[in-house]
Structure 1
Amino acid sequence: MSQQKQIQLAKRPKGLPTKDVFHFETVDIPVPQDGEVLIQTKYVSVDPYMRGRMQDTKSYTPPFKLNEVIQGGVVGEVVESKSPQFEKGDFVLGFLGWQEYSTAKAESLTKIDPSIAPLSYYLGILGMPGQTAYFGLLAIGQPKEGETVVISGAAGAVGSVVGQIAKIKGAHVVGIAGSDDKLAYLKELGFDETINYKTTNDLNDAIEKACPNGVDVYFDNVGGEISDAVMNHLNRFARIPVCGAISSYNISTSEDIGPRVQTKLIKTSALMQGFIVANYSDRFGEAAKDLAQWVKEDKLTYKETIIEGFDNIPDAFLGLFKGENVGKQLVKIS
């Protein structure tokens, strides 16, 4: 029986994960059973939320199990099918393991069309990050023409799409990111103002200058001190979609203590709502249609950071927490 490489979670990290958290194992390539297909991995998605799944804590999704394969978004090619739903050569999107080959039940997979968009886009702008941006901004943020939308983590896979959709809706868009290269990218995307939180001497003052009319929507990807500063500039009835808190993913809860937000929310009658994209699963078709149309019309452009090689998956994941990626971080396998 042929064998393949697989990446398992060797131990639960404390603080910023290191390479010894991951264990490479050689295992048999699985054989598909009735109703299943065998998939060769083409692209692997690495995402910040996966850090939370490395902890053995209660969350919206179960933690990864020790000494078992890590799972995430994967685009692959069907190499053997025992289901009438798929044929050899079909491309699919699924939640699969960090391994070179996977079997999956046909109903757990989505067939994708490489003639509409590159395969990698189905893990990015047409996939989970794009859908997250779409629903977080439009369902919770609800930007209106002329309002000010601020986005933290703005050059990432989600934030870069949020800003462009906000521009489509006629908003004044301010992006916060951590390097001059990322700020230049945001300007290319049409952001009105940008802030480098690593080099500004006074973040509170920088936000005030970038948002002379205050903040109507704050799309929060990072939490921490950046969000503390943005909260000082909320307008009445502001909306705050809370998508992520990457600033705190690698520190203990006891270390992540900042200003209390309750008074600021009361004074502004603001709405602050956490969400995950799965909350809107019954509307994924709507988002996919709009996102694909905007891409086709060049209203949405997209950047990816793609590392090649299965062995580089851990490096790509760890790079997320060092700000190494612009746009969606992917690993091309084959």
Structure 2
Amino acid sequence: MNLHPAILAAVLLMLAACGRAGEDAARQPTPPSAAAGKAGAADAHDGHDDHGSEDGEAGHTHDEDEGQTTIAAAIAEAAGIRTAAAGPGVIRDEHEVQGIVTPVEGRHARVVARFPGPVRAVRAGVGDRVRRGQALAVVESNISLSDYTVSAPFDGTILSRNVAVGDLAGEAPLFEIADLSSLWVDLHLFGRDAQHITDGLPVEVIRLTDGHVAATALDRILPSTATASQSTVARARIDNADGQWRPGAAVRARVSVSERSVPLAVPLGALQKTGGRDVVYVRDGERYRERPVRLGERDGRRVEVLDGLAAGDAVVVEQSYLVKADIGKAGAGHEH
């Protein structure tokens, strides 16, 4: 979750206001009754040397406040601070590749006229969804001088129209039509990726326009090399029931070559660096505490935690840098 700069500034101001409120409360004048109590306590200590007082001052630290902060639930919600319970996860050996969306073979056709002749009517345009047998155009045959209908060969969407009324239909395609309910994704593999990636492996395809992810598996590795890129092509099928995947669109994909289950893992977004240490932030009510962690293996989305966390801990997984900033502000205040 990326915050708009104006929203982020407002959130930081709210956090600072919470800190100032606490400081103002600390500066309030002491009520008379409390002052009298303090005077009595001071008299009770008369006659003692200063050693005990110095010990008390030396023993008073801010350890209970260091590495933690309090953020009201409403402010945390507005800032987009989100937590999730730490628990088991899967660390994958993932290979990121590039690809392109294409129509499925056998569900893509270029519709031509059966007989040459002038076009008398055009009944479909680009983007229209048509049914099998639906009339796309009417052509007058030069042979019989009678009209005949050019029909859709299957259910699909018109991708291109290359004809207008009055044109002479011949061997050139009049329409290009494809069934877009599912599509191929052709992924280009280079170098060692081409040796390690095989059919059947799980793959996540990422749409570049909005980051949407489709989970699928590699259907096949094509036997020939793509001439232009000199790459090996791996092909997967994705569902397109919502129509948001479009032929010709470039995509990214993560192919999982292997995976390992681990007892405890957190998203990479939970990690921050403090004093050279890896830390996460654990929420307890409205209190957020910094927790140093020892890490193991990681992939592009999560990391194994070997020490420093317990299963079920409510770890900040989004906007953890805001918690880090607020703890840093609190620490700077203690130094003064």
TM-score surpassing 0.5?
Answer: no
Which structure's residues are more often helix, by fraction? 1
Q: TM-score range by the shorter chain?
A: under 0.3
| Structure index of larger Rg | 2
Q: TM-score, normalised by structure 1?
A: 0.22
Q: Which has the higher strand share?
A: 2
TM norm structure 2? 0.22
